């Protein structure tokens, strides 16, 4: 009998979770689980702002995370998906190959939206560890002579990056540019602490602005003003990888795969989409991209596929947010606890207590992967995994 083949595209938080969970949930069946990713390194996206300021972080390797699970690792980039024939083309060091599948988990996540003119050529991003290292090298060049760094995007990703740069490179002038006030999604107490921390670190905040172009050594604002800068870090919004749209899957206006209540593609039910790659609707609205929501969706998708293989019908995916943890350098943080729809609740943590909480959250994915080799952790219990909301914001 030919084994059932399940291919997982993407080796981030969601892809690794799906592969480990699938291998465990199908261990008593003739099932082959294959994880595909361009690099064998597992990138902790929750720590990219630390890498961007020259800090050393743990070096996790995907084969080591999968060791003992039975899941296979294929190093390569998915270049073409044919959901009708259930095939995906992979380009790697040894050339191209085609993998057939019975089920596919689409976990390619999202990348920074660089559609504003000049961003690709003149701005840095935090899409992966290599990009973060390049920005760290640029900061190291500037720190010897001083200069101005513009962080574009006032969402929580931009806030964390601006605080980290200002703390790690106090001789640089850091400007945070955005259309909304930093921390606008938080309660009043948490927002006051966040703004106070940025002020203490010397971060200049410019709100109500939108960057329309990034020429060399400058940013152009929607009011026509050109602001000279020495480096630009772009954190203003994300878009999904283009593979799903090119394959003919039904996607939304941001390229995310539109899924049903069980996270299966509405157009091609053999494809499951998770995390930032999926347009997931709940009773309270659309889920926005975070590790906090991505890991539970990945665990659920693995469970749903396993149930289908046993001839059972999966229950609908249910998710609610718990918190918004935000680091403000290495010695300060704020955690806003939330209602399930991610609106602010009554409670928040600040200062040292928030630092300890945020660090525990940031470490949790690797711990959960190890536990998941031997235990089936309920998908809902994984909602406390994950840090800042990587929500899209207006460009600038």
CA dist 328 and 300 (Å) reads: 32
Identify the pLDDT of residue 390. Answer: 44
Taking only Cα atoms into account, the Rg of the chain, rounded to an integer number of angstroms, comes to: 21
Final residue of a structural domain among 269, 294, 319? 319
* Cβ neighbour number for residue 333 with a 10 Å cutoff: 27
Q: How far, in Å, are 31, 98, 313, 341 from residue 305 at the CA level?
A: 11, 22, 9, 26
pLDDT at 395 over 50: no
Average of per-residue pLDDT values in the chain = 92
pLDDT confidence band for 396 (50 / 70 / 90): very low
For residue 310 the two structure tokens come to: 């046993």
pLDDT at 106 over 80: yes
| 151 beta partners | 176, 233
pLDDT at 393 over 60: no
231 and 296 fall within a common domain:
no
266 and 150 fall within a common domain:
no
pLDDT at 385 over 80: no
**352 in a structural domain:** yes
Q: How far, in Å, are 1, 14, 301, 374 from residue 104 at the CA level?
A: 20, 13, 10, 23
129 and 191 fall within a common domain:
yes
**64 in a structural domain:** no
**166 in a structural domain:** yes
pLDDT at 354 over 90: yes
227 and 85 fall within a common domain:
no
95 and 207 fall within a common domain:
no
CATH number of the domain encompassing residue 126: 3.50.50.100
Q: What is the mean pLDDT of residues 325-349?
A: 97
pLDDT, tens digit, 9 for 90 and up, residues 363-381: 877 777 877 777 677 666 6
pLDDT at 386 over 70: no
Domain span at 192: 114-236+322-396
pLDDT, tens digit, 9 for 90 and up, residues 17-48: 999 999 999 998 899 999 999 999 998 888 99
Going across the sheet that includes 204-207, the strands are 204-207, 172-178, 147-152, 231-234
Final residue of a structural domain among 319, 354, 379? 319
377 and 291 fall within a common domain:
no
300 and 333 fall within a common domain:
no
pLDDT, tens digit, 9 for 90 and up, residues 111-148: 899 999 999 999 999 999 999 999 999 999 999 899 99
**49 in a structural domain:** no
Note whether 364 and 47 are within 8 A (CB). Answer: no
270 and 221 fall within a common domain:
no
135 and 262 fall within a common domain:
no
Q: To which residue do tokens 């010397």 refer?
A: 202
pLDDT at 231 over 80: yes
Total of domains in the chain: 2
Q: What is the mean pLDDT of residues 83-94?
A: 95
**69 in a structural domain:** no
Put simply, whether the predicted model's pTM sits higher than 0.75 gets the answer yes
195 and 132 fall within a common domain:
yes
Question: Which of helix, strand or coil describes residue 92?
Answer: strand
Final residue of a structural domain among 268, 297, 319? 319
315 and 335 fall within a common domain:
no
pLDDT, tens digit, 9 for 90 and up, residues 162-178: 999 999 999 999 999 99
**291 in a structural domain:** yes
CA dist 357 and 368 (Å) reads: 16
């Amino acid at each position: 009998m030919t084994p059932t083949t399940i291919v997982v595209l993407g080796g981030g938080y969601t892809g690794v979770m799906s592969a480990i969970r699938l291998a465990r949930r199908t261990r008593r069946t003739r099932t082959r689980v294959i994880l595909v990713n361009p690099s064998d390194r597992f990138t902790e996206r929750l720590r990219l702002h630390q890498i961007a300021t020259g800090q050393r972080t743990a070096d996790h390797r995907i084969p080591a995370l999968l060791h003992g699970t039975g899941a296979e690792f294929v190093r390569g980039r998915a270049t073409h998906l044919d959901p009708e024939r259930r095939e995906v083309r992979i380009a790697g060091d040894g050339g191209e190959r085609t993998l057939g599948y019975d089920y596919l988990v689409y976990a390619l996540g999202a990348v920074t939206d660089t559609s504003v003119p000049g961003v690709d050529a003149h701005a840095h991003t935090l899409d992966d560890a290599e990009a973060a290292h390049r920005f760290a090298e640029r900061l190291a060049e500037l720190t010897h002579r001083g200069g101005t760094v513009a962080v574009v995007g006032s969402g929580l990703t931009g806030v964390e990056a601006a605080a980290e740069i200002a703390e790690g490179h106090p001789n640089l002038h850091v400007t945070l540019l955005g259309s909304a006030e930093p921390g606008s999604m938080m309660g009043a107490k948490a927002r006051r602490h966040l703004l106070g921390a940025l002020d203490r670190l010397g971060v200049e905040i410019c709100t109500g602005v939108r960057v329309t172009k990034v020429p060399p050594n400058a940013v152009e604002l929607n009011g026509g003003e050109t602001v000279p800068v020495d480096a630009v870090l772009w954190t203003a919004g994300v878009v999904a990888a283009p593979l799903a749209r090119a394959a003919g899957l039904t996607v939304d206006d941001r390229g995310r795969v539109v899924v049903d209540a069980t996270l299966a593609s509405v157009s091609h039910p053999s494809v499951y989409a998770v995390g930032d790659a999926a347009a997931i609707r709940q009773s309270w609205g659309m889920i926005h991209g975070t590790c906090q929501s991505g890991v539970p969706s990945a665990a659920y998708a693995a469970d749903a596929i396993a149930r289908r293989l046993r001839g059972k019908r999966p229950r609908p995916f249910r998710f609610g947010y718990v918190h918004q943890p935000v680091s403000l350098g290495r010695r300060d943080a704020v955690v806003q606890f939330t209602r399930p729809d991610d609106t602010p609740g009554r409670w928040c943590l600040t200062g040292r207590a928030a630092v300890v909480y945020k660090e525990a959250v940031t470490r949790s994915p690797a711990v959960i992967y190890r536990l998941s080799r031997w235990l089936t952790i309920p998908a809902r219990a994984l909602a406390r995994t994950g840090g800042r909301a990587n929500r899209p914001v207006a460009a600038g």
